[in-house]
Amino acid sequence: MKSRHTPGRRVRLGLAALGGCAAALAAAGGASAHEHRTVAQGAYSMVVGWSGEPTFTGARNAVQLFVKDASGGAVTDLGSDSLKVQVVYQGQTSDSMPLVPAFSANFGTPGEYDAQLEPTRPGDYTFHFTGAIHGTAIDESFTSSPKTFDTVRDDTSIEFPVKDPSRGELSTGVQRVTARVAPLPARVTAAQTSAQNANDAGTRATILATIAVGLALVVGVVLGMQLRRRGAAAGAPASGVEAHVGS
């Protein structure tokens, strides 16, 4: 028995199919968010985001750029010197990085240009593009946000079963240890110098004491000789005295 569809039922089925396609496209767009912008007075369009989204710290990624002309055709002939990108994060700016083709005749999406990057801190990043497309100057900045492309998240949010310290926590710990350890060489040197000075001072004191004892002995010998001479000159009384002392 053949089933028959009324025109109204066909319309409803068509709308349901379109709704399913729209939901699928929306889901796909949410999984890989990029910002689309027309530049150079409408001559070109730039679609910018992370190559891998959602984006986490510590994972190798790339600044991803798709370039199209006004007719919607992919621009596939840009050299590595045509466009460059600098990444800005909380006042810090990276070196200028070339954007290289991420496609060929056999793979990839025509018009895609990437710059490899591994984000190390969570938060929002800005991609600043400069250079030229077919001689047309480009100077555009794109910043991550809920309405543009993915904000970088800390990789500890997806760690299991144990969450290791984040890169920021490890860096802070290393800086604290370094700050404590850094003065130690100077302190050791100062202690060694002090010990050497003390040793030198002790040596000098020993030498001076030895010299003093030597001088005392010399003085004693001289005084003894002088006393003996005086005693000999005094004659008998001196002998009597010596005899009395001896008794």
Residues 190 and 154 in one domain: no
pTM for this entry:
0.62
Whether 22 shows a pLDDT value over 50: the answer reads no
**Is the Cα torsion angle 19, 20, 25, 27 positive or negative in sign?**
positive
Whether 216 shows a pLDDT value over 80: the answer reads no
Which phi and psi angles does 35 have, rounded to 5°? -100, 130
- Beta strands of the chain (E only): which ranges? 35-39, 44-50, 61-69, 83-89, 92-93, 97-98, 100-101, 112-117, 126-133, 136-143
Q: Which domain holds residue 77?
A: 31-158
Instruction: State how many domains the chain has.
Output: 2
Measured distance CA(202)–CA(199) in Å, rounded: 5
Residues 42 and 135 in one domain: yes
pLDDT at 61: 98
| Residue 13 binned pLDDT confidence (cut-offs 50, 70, 90) | very low
- Bigger pLDDT: 32 or 73? 73
130-165: pLDDT as tens digits: 999 999 999 999 999 999 999 999 999 999 999 888
Whether 12 shows a pLDDT value over 60: the answer reads no
Coil, strand, or helix at residue 108? Answer: coil
45-94: pLDDT as tens digits: 999 999 999 999 999 999 999 999 999 999 999 998 999 999 999 999 99
Residues 93 and 136 in one domain: yes
Residues 101 and 204 in one domain: no
The two tokens of residue 162 are 């144990």
Question: Is residue 48 one of the residues assigned to a domain?
Answer: yes
41, HSE (Cβ side, Cα atoms, 13 Å)? 2
Residues 148 and 216 in one domain: no
pLDDT at 169: 78
The two tokens of residue 10 are 């066909």
| Residue 185 binned pLDDT confidence (cut-offs 50, 70, 90) | confident
Question: Is residue 143 one of the residues assigned to a domain?
Answer: yes
Residues 118 and 199 in one domain: no
Coil, strand, or helix at residue 149? Answer: coil
pLDDT at 4: 54
- Bigger pLDDT: 163 or 166? 163
